């Protein structure tokens, strides 16, 4: 008696052969099998190099895009989304993106963006009243004006971690330690927030947004409550984002743009590799 419910046999070998010989798959395989320029130069894990690239990317001066599509606006998109995932946790209870900026970005009520400064390795004592030798990986100061004339000055403080963990309390000489006892006993992100909150910052008029950037996976970052202590910032005023956020929300849209030059397209493509 024949089994009418018997399923036809699947020819897995033929399926795999067809897949491996698909022209689109071959192009994709060859693309990622080729070493990028960063890998060839053995600098693909260099925090300094990544910070320099990100500073150039976020400044946006080489991209002929509308204000609504400026890299800074897409960075704020990332921060708003990640804040919503993290601000309800016990460690990160407060709102980290000011409501007026959030409303302006989400409604795309943007008239202009003026970039005042983009720096890497920025000394704390250049932006804070605390004379520390600590350095900010990426520092950005800009003004975003809404279509109804509201002007918002923002300072972005980005701590970039590629292959390292957050530093603990810093050793300083006795004179510095006695002058700033609350500073020296803090971890890296805690020191940066302490130095740049409005009590200690030189610029009292700007709104500060603190960012902790790592290569952590999307799955892990979205499960923020269960992250290990070494996988996220020690200070709760930092919004934690990852490199995948930068790729998906800033770099990939630029790669799809027909307005950027071949040279810029090549630079972005090499970085993605």
**For a pLDDT cut of 70, what percent of the chain falls above it?**
81
As a whole number, mean pLDDT of residues 148-168 equals 92
What is the predicted pLDDT for the residue at 70? 96
Residue 24 has pLDDT above 80, yes or no: no
- 14 — pLDDT class (breaks 50, 70, 90): low
Confidence of residue 272 (pLDDT cuts 50, 70, 90): confident
**Cβ pair 153, 141 in contact under 8 A:** yes
- In this structure, what are the phi and psi dihedrals at residue 151, rounded to the nearest 5 degrees? -110, 130
**Beta strands 151-160 and 112-123: pairing type?**
unpaired
Residue 231, helix vs strand vs coil: helix
* φ/ψ of residue 152, rounded to 5: -125, 115
The answer to whether 265 touches 255, Cβ cutoff 8 Å, is yes
Average pLDDT over residues 85-112: 84
State yes or no: pLDDT of 73 exceeds 80: yes
Write down the residue that tokens 């007026």 correspond to: 100
Distance CA 140, CA 116 (A): 8
**The pLDDT of residue 36:** 47
Tokens found for residue 125 = 């004592």
> How many whole angstroms separate alpha carbon 86 and alpha carbon 101?
18
Both ends of the chain: CA-CA distance in Å?
58
- As a whole number, mean pLDDT of residues 74-96 equals 82
Task: Tell me the average pLDDT across 24-38.
Answer: 53
Q: Phi/psi of residue 160, each to 5°? A: -105, 120
Rounded average pLDDT over 11-34 = 62
Please list, in sequence order, all residues whose beta carbon lies within 8 angstroms of the beta carbon of residue 35, skipping any fewer than 6 positions away.
Answer: 273
Find how far residue 133's CA is from the centre of its chain.
Answer: 24
Residue 171 corresponds to which tokens in the numbers above? Answer: 């050793």
Residue 164 has pLDDT above 50, yes or no: yes
């Amino acid at each position: 008696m024949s089994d009418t419910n018997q399923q036809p046999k699947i020819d897995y070998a033929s399926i795999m052969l067809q897949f491996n010989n698909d022209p689109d798959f071959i192009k994709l395989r060859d693309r990622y099998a080729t070493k990028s320029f960063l890998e060839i130069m053995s600098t693909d894990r260099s925090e300094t190099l990544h910070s320099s690239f990100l500073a150039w990317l976020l400044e946006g001066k080489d991209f002929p895009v509308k204000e609504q599509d400026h890299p800074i606006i897409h960075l704020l998109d990332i921060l708003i989304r990640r804040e919503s995932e993290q601000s309800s946790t016990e460690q990160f209870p407060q709102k980290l993106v000011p409501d007026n900026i959030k409303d302006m970005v989400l409604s795309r009520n943007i008239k202009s963006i003026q970039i005042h400064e983009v720096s890497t390795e920025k000394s704390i004592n250049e932006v804070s009243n605390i004379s520390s030798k600590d350095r900010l990986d990426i520092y950005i100061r800009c003004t975003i004006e809404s279509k109804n004339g509201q002007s918002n000055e923002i300072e972005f403080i980005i701590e970039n971690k590629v292959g390292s963990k957050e530093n603990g309390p810093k050793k300083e000489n006795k004179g510095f330690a006695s002058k700033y006892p609350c500073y020296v006993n803090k971890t890296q992100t805690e020191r940066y927030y302490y130095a740049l909150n409005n009590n200690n910052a030189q610029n009292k008029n700007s709104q500060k947004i603190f960012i902790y950037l790592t290569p952590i996976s999307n799955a892990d970052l979205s499960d923020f409550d269960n992250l290990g202590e070494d996988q996220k910032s020690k200070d709760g005023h930092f919004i934690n984002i990852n490199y995948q956020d930068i790729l998906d929300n800033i770099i990939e849209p630029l790669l799809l743009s027909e307005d950027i030059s071949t040279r810029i397209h090549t630079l972005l493509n090499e970085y993605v590799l």
